[in-house]
Structure 1
Amino acid sequence: MSLTSAILLCISLILSIPTPTSLSPPLIEELNQPLPPDFAAKISQNCSSNPQHSFTPSMLKGATDGFAEENLVEKSRKSETYRGVLSDGTEVGIEVWRGRISSEFHKIFIEECRVLVQLDHDRLIQVLGWCDRRELRAVVKEWMDGETGEEWLSRSPSWRNRLKVLVGVAEAMRYLQEQWPLIDYDLRTCNVIVSENQEPLVSKLKVGDQRSESEKVYKFGVLLLELVANRRPQEEFERGETEFVEWMRMHYPENVREVIDGAMKRPSRGYNQVVQAIGIGLSCTDIEAGGAPGISQVHDMVLGLND
């Protein structure tokens, strides 16, 4: 296994986030390049072996009643994920790796965990720590009761709650761009978890600068338009996202009512907000003009919808 492939597999397994209502296998994508030297230096400079992030097998067995079957929430070829409760009452998801791993992969596993525990934002899934023992290797993540964006949209949430989700995602994007620009994310409704309080968590992260800022902005634009229209580009349009964006652009602004989710509840001034939001989404996906806004601008424009 190459170093690049090992990095990819590690991050994909670590950040496959389970929920009670949506359990999907890890998403594996290929990194285009190895970790840049400046990023590796940041890892070495900021990551210490904090004992607070280290869990023992006995701690995790106690949290899951000995990895009882009733606590198993997800199972894949490489790992099993359990729901557990730590001794201090914290609910967690514990992803247990099965089988042997190479020494190279083991080193990468530790370094990546040391990066992920540093991410500190309310709209990003939080990695609490890991267990690295011969008999048990596991990643411990916060647990959140919620559902995927796809499941959430199927219930036609109000515009107020959709805007709340968009604002939260935009805040997470700005944080990563400013603090960890080489951490990439896969913005799709299936990878955004919505809590019972209608708060989003971006759940698919990976180390390595795969996408440019403009590509990340484009993906956010598609997500925004999808939340407005409540349509699934990959399933409902032959050419996927490209055709979906063209369809939205064709109706904007004269026939914009044709693309807005008819089941969505809107306050009295909500219609104008929705139209403005569509304009932002189309601006983010305007790749031909080359004038798409940056992540900071997108963040400010989305927050401005609340004014």
Structure 2
Amino acid sequence: MLSVYSRRIIPVSILPVVIVSLILTGSMIGSNNSIAKSTDRFAEIIEVSQFNNLFKEYNLLNAYAKDHPEIRRRQLEFALKALEQPPPKKSDSSLILNKLGEYYMTVNKPAEAEHYLNLSLAADQYNIFTYHYLINFARSYGTQDDLLSLAATMADRLPTSAKAQMDAGVLFMQLNQSERGRACLEKAYMLDSNDVFVIVNYANLYMQDKNYPEAVRLLLRAVDINPDYFKANYNLALAYTGMRDRSSALQYLNRASALTSNQSERKQLENLKRTLGEN
């Protein structure tokens, strides 16, 4: 016979954190009208709970607030509560600090955004995503010198990261620092010659040198790795255009056309079509 204790409902205050997260996620899978009420309810539940750390729960609520306009006003509230927990790992600290920096950039408060992004960098100077946020911040509020400094810092601090070397190289190239950009892109390819993004950016060096056959060789590998990557197909069309191979250029132009996802990509295709005389 079951004892009276075995039949009691377990209080929410002692439910495992993961269960609350699953319940919250499940409650959001419904009509938009229920999202605000569900968010209010679970924010209340975890507020009065006795969990030692609610970072994951508040981070989850912050993500929902960002994605749903009806509760977006609570995005900052949940991010700050996640930060107060405190985050269990330095990568978690960097994650939530970056979210705060992004939020303040969205509402055009650069001083606050810079404050949190600098805190994020101090918490984890090897988090590549922090550099991405800082680059976005510098593009909006900083100078070319700020961007150059970020590219150099990323290249120096993350010497074994192919993605970091690639990002630094692309930024250097955009800032007309060709020699430094080339060095980073070559290093990125040396570190990971199977990353499709690294390959495409490395191939751009050969495009600039008008070494189209080598660019084609690299870009064919990129398309083989990821046939649905727009940039690889589009750049192949460009490279074949440089080789005056109109048939192959049109083949990859048509493939790229089926992969467009934004107006910028469509405009690039229209320009190339005009070059090839294809209406």
Do the structures match in fold with TM over 0.5? no
When you count strand as a share of all residues, which structure comes out higher? 1
Which of the five TM-score ranges fits, normalised by the shorter chain? under 0.3
Query: Which is greater in Rg?
Result: 2
Which structure ranks higher in relative contact order (CA pairs < 8 Å, sequence separation ≥ 6)?
Answer: 1
Q: Normalised by the size of structure 1, how large is the TM-score?
A: 0.25
